[in-house]
Amino acid sequence: MSWLTLAWFVPACFALNMTPGPNNLMALSNGKRYGFGHACLAGLGRLGAFSVMITLAASGLATLLYASELFFTVLKVGGALYLFWLAVQMWRSDANLDAVDSGQPLSLMALARQEFLLAAGNPKAILIFTAFLPQFVDPSAAVGVQFFILGSCFLLLEWLAIALYASAGRLLNKGLGKPRWQRAFNRLCAMLLGSAGLGLLLSKRLPA
C-alpha cells in the first residue's frame, strides 16, 4: 500500500467518520450529560463493534448480508427497535433532569454497551466497510495486511470523531443550564434517533 493511497483514504474516511448518525449523536449526548472523558471512553464500545465488522469484511463473511435477505432484515429490525427504545428513553428523561444528570448516572460500562449495541445493530455499517475499504486495497498485495492498516486508521479517526462530538456536547452543556433548554435538547436528540431508526427500518440492502 502506497502513501498516496493513504493520502486519499484518510480525508475520505474522516468525512465518513464525522457524518452525523446515531452513534455520533450518542457521543454528543454523553458529552453533554457525563463529560468529555466518559463520552470518549464509552466510545470504545463503538470501536469494538466496528473492529468486529472490519474483521468480518476482511474475511469475506460480510457477503452473508448480501446473500441472506432474512439475516439482513433481522439485524435491521433489531437495530431500528433499539434506536426507537433509546429515543423514548431520551424523550422521557426530561421528567427528572437533575436525577438523570447527577443523581443516578449510567456507569461507564453501561455507556460503552449502549455504543456497542447501537453500532452493532446497524447492518448498513458492515456494508459500508465492505463497499468502502476495498476501494483502497491493492489485490496484488497482501490483502489482510492492507485491511489491518486501513481498519486501524478508520478506528483512530473514528475515536477522533467521538472526541469532537463529545467536546461539542460538553460545550452545549454550558449553554443548556435551564431545564427548558435541556428538555428541548433531549427531545431534539430523541427525534433524530427516532428518525434514524425509521430510516434504518426503511433501508434496503446495498446492491451486490
Rounded (10°) CA dihedral 39, 16, 77, 208: -150
CB-count exposure of residue 28 (10 Å: 0-12, 13-18, 19+): buried
Phi-psi region of 170 (alpha: psi -120 to 50; beta: other; left: phi over 0): alpha
Least confident of 49-58, 89-98, 111-120, 178-187: 89-98
The verdict on residue 207 lying in a domain is no
The verdict on residue 208 lying in a domain is no
Residue 32's pLDDT is: 86
The verdict on residue 141 lying in a domain is yes
Residue 201's pLDDT is: 73
Residue closest to 184 by CA, chosen among 192, 197, 37: 192
Residue 95's pLDDT is: 42
Q: What is the mean pLDDT of residues 63-81?
A: 66
* Residue 187, C-alpha cell as written in the block: 427531545
Residue closest to 28 by CA, chosen among 115, 89, 108: 115
Least confident of 64-68, 84-88, 117-121, 143-147: 64-68
User: Scanning the structure block, which residue is given the C-alpha cell 448516572?
Assistant: 105
Q: How many domains does the chain have?
A: 1
Least confident of 42-51, 141-150, 198-207: 198-207
Distance CA 185, CA 181 (A): 6
Residue 177's pLDDT is: 56
The verdict on residue 57 lying in a domain is yes
Distance CA 166, CA 162 (A): 6
Domain extent at residue 60 = 3-202
* Residue 206, C-alpha cell as written in the block: 446495498
3-state secondary structure of 63: helix
Residue closest to 42 by CA, chosen among 116, 120, 152, 102: 116
Query: Model confidence over 141-172: pLDDT tens digits?
Result: 777 788 889 999 999 999 999 999 999 888 87
Residue 11's pLDDT is: 87
Q: Is the confidence at residue 104, as pLDDT, over 70? A: no
Q: Is the confidence at residue 46, as pLDDT, over 90? A: yes
